[in-house]
Structure formats: structure tokens, C-alpha cells
A and B are shown apart, each in its own frame.
Chain A
Amino acid sequence: MKKKALFIPFIFFVIVVFCCPSTILAGNVSKNKKPGVHQLRSPVRLTMTPGGDLLVSDYQPGMIVMVNHKSLKTTPLFPIEGRPLGIAYARGHIYVGNASKKCVEVYSRGGKKLYQLNGEIKKPTDIAVDAKQGCVFVVDAAQKKVNLFTLKGKFIRTFPGSDPENEILTNPTGIAVNPAAKEVFVSDYGDKTKYIYPRIQIFDYNGNLLDTIPGKQGMFGTRFSRPQGLAVDESGHVFMVDCYSGEIMVFDRYNGNTLKTMAGYGTDPGQLRLPLDIVIDPGTNDIYVTHNRAARVELFKNGGAL
């Protein structure tokens, strides 16, 4: 009788351990297929909320997805009408670049559409916010401009100027801000037919070009060729993903020197194919990257440490 009493809980234990769904693999958000868990299909941009959770724009299903920074569980937050690109978070509001509607829409965390930014936008590929200054910067890849709005959606200005000879931005893609220095960083593919090489352009909040981090070094040296998402850490170091080489690169803001290179193209763990955006968790120095071809978000533990 006693043996039977022990045997039944043992069988129950075995069933629970071996038959329940496997736990989430670190850094591989897409593995979990439990009900209520969103399977990412084409993650583009991501941003971090003050609580540390990640918000991801998933292009193909038109979904804003929340990723728990500890468990890496993906939860569908709300769908949008169209295809989301850039995403940013400020004061409880989520700013989403809508590629289909060619605008930036502002949602509550519950997914209620509140208003949209008031200006002509064609392809809002990335958004950065300085909540303290009340600034929303939107990269328009089609118009090759950065548009500046207030948090409430009022248009302030566009930069750089429309002088075609300047060509300060030729193929802009990603954006980040450093609120401490009031600087805006914009990644730009350049235009090799005009001998304009890939670069990161640094502006002040008024749109004046301050500095350039070049992708080309010397006559033949190529540091990066397809710069996409950007992030700036608390020390002012500039983090960038190159969506072609699959590399995460870190630059010194002032002299442009490469401080660190991680990842690289490939299918092995830690390698990336078409990474599109990057954020740094200031509390842990962990790095999160949208890995588009693998349809997941990658976590690089302590990747922000130099």
C-alpha cells in the first residue's frame, strides 16, 4: 500500500517533467509556442521601457510585441493597421512608424490609438525620443530626412536642409539620441555612386552636423557597409549593428575609433543574419538585437561592457 502511495506521485512527477513544454532558450524568443505567446516573424526595431521590458515592431504580422527582459517571453501587445517599422516609448505612450499608412502613430500600452504625429512622412524606419526635452526624432528613409516633433505630435523642424549639394544624409536608416549631450546619431548607407561611403552622422538637436563616424577607413578599409540600428550608452559610446556583415560594433564618439566588435554573419549561436536594431540595458549592460532572418530577439549578456 505504501509502495503504491509513493509510486503514483512519482509517475505524476515524471509526466510533469517530461511532457510539459520546454522552457524558453535564452536569447531565442521564437522557440516558445505556448498559447498567448507571440511567434516573431520579422522583427525590425526594438525599444526598452523604463521597467526594462522590450517593445518590438514585428513587420509581417503588423504586431507590437512585448519581450520580458528576464524570461524573454514574447507577448503580443497589440496589432496595428499596416506594417510597423520604427518604435519608441515615452511617458506611457508607444510611438510606432507605420510603413503602410506613411505616418507615426501614438498608442497607449493597451493598444488604443491616441493620435499621430502631424507631418509628411513617407517611410518612418526608426524613431528616437528624448522624453525630458519632449523631442521625438523620426528617420524618413524615403525622404532622406529626420523630422523632429514634440511628444504631443506637433511638427518642429526637418533636418538636414534641402540643399542637394550637401548630401548630409543619402540613405538614412536608424537613429538614436544621447539626451545627456543633446546629440542625435543617424546611420546612413551613403551612396557609393557619388563616393559617399557608409557613416554615422552626429547632429545637435537643432539639426547642425557635428561629427561623422566613417565606415570607410583609409583607401581600401571597410569597417561597416550597411549601418542600421544605433544605441548610445551612458558613457556616450556608440553601438551599431551592420545588417550585412552581422556585426555589432562599438565606437568612440569623439575620435570614431572602433572599441569593440561582436557577433558577425552566420547561423551559429551568437551570429546574426540581417540584424536591424540594438538596445542596451543600462542596469545590466546586456544587449538586445533584433535578428530578422532568424525571426527572434538575441540577448548578448553583458555585451555592453567594454
Chain B
Amino acid sequence: MMNRRILLSLSFGFVFFIAIIAVNVYRPESTGALNPWHGDCSICHSVHSAPGQALSNDAVVEVLCLSCHGPGGSAATVEVHTNTSGSSYPSFRMTCIDCHNTHDNMLNCFTGINLKSVGRKITGATYARISTPNSGIREVVFESRGTSVGDPSLHSFADADQDGNGTYDGSCEVCHTLTRFHHNNSGGNHNHQLGRTCTNCHNHDNHFHR
């Protein structure tokens, strides 16, 4: 009788041990590795007694991001992307996870790794993409901050297809079709502050407005 109890306890212990290893080794496909600056899951997720409607829709994620990255938080202050007030173009609102994969710096289609978690895993592709407002799903590449921080302009915010592959895949230009400069095709003017850090003037904490 005693031996059976010990055996049962050992069996439970073994199963528990394996489960812990499995949870730590396996991560669901949608999450991937974690960005080092976000620490571990518990920074954003509360498994037990999660406050609010935890992570159930984009709006909740936006509030979660801005709880640290908003004006009251201690991290770098950012805002969602909107068009300027009084714009003659249709209004839009790109929230955090329209551009950023909050869990990972993803591989891009050139097998480099994107900076700042730019790009999402969309339609089964293993590399970074963005679902653009009016150009469908596109590859996005963001490996350089641009010449103004001393890096090469190739694969920066808007590099006017510097690699000559026919796609305009910088993190800013990938969506733009109605802006004055840097459309996501060969048309229009691609010379404006080419390869530079767009966010020096179009601030992320001001909806990317000037």
C-alpha cells in the first residue's frame, strides 16, 4: 500500500516536471521569443486574475502598450499613427500591433532581422509583413535607422528601393500611397530626406506628424 502511494507521488512529480520543461521549451507559434527589453510574459500578461479584458482585442493591446509607452509611463513615449488634422485624405488609425510584433524582432524576407519589432507574421509567412491600408499585404524590411544615426541607409525607414529589387519595403514607405514623398511604388518623389531617420521630424510620439 505504502509503495503504491510512493509510486503514485513519484509519477505525479515526474509528469509535473515534464510539464514545466515543456512549457518553457515550447512557445506557441504566434508568440515566438520575447524581446529582451520586455522581460518575460508576466510583464504584460497576468495569467491569473488578469485585469481588464486582457489582450482580447487591438484596443486593449494599445492601452497595454501605452501603459508604459504612453505619456504617463517610464518607457519611450509613442503614439498611434493617424493622419494630420484637416487632411483631405480619408482618416486612418494604425495602432501598435498594425506595425509591430510585440513578441519578437522578426526575420525579414532578406533573412535579416528587423529592428524595433517591425513587421508581423501574416498569412503563414515566416518573415515580417505588414497589412497595408490600401496595398494589400507587403513585406517590410527595417534593418537600419538611416544615415542620420551613422548607419547605412539601405533598408531604413524609406530608402527608395536602394537594393534595386523593385519593392519599396522600408517601414514608412511600405504603406504610403497618398503622401507627398516616398510612395510604395516607383511613382512620385523619392528624394525627400532619402535614407534618413524619418522620425526625427515625423515624431512617433506625435502620431508621426511633423
Contacts and interface: CB of A to CB of B under 8 A. Distances in A.
Residue of A42, A228, A244 ringed by the most chain B CB atoms within 10 A: A244
Contacts of A45: 72
Nearest to B41: A192
A107 interface: no
A274 B74 contact: no
A273 B63 contact: yes
A99 B78 CA distance: 13
Interface string A134-178: 000000011010000000000000000000000000011110000
Nearest to B59: A273
A247 B62 CA distance: 17
Nearest to A244: B67
Nearest to A293: B63
A60 B70 CA distance: 11
A222 B49 CA distance: 6
A161 B191 CA distance: 52
A108 interface: no
Given A123-B74, A141-B73, A243-B72, A274 B66 contact: yes
A38 B207 CA distance: 19
A265 B53 CA distance: 7
B52 A264 contact: yes
Nearest to A265: B52
Interface residues on A, range: 35 or more
Interface in A50-107: 59-60, 83, 85, 99
Interface string A179-195: 00000000001001100
Given A83-B205, A245-B52, A265-B60, A274 B67 contact: yes
Give the 7 A-B residue pairs with the shortest CB-CB distance, closest first. Answer: A245-B51, A220-B48, A141-B74, A265-B52, A193-B39, A226-B67, A222-B49
Interface of B: 39-40, 42-43, 46, 48-53, 59-60, 62-64, 66-68, 70-74, 77, 79, 205-207
Interface of A: 42, 44-45, 59-60, 83, 85, 99, 123, 125-126, 141-142, 144, 171-174, 189, 192-193, 220-222, 224-226, 228-229, 242-247, 264-265, 267, 273-274, 276-277, 292-293
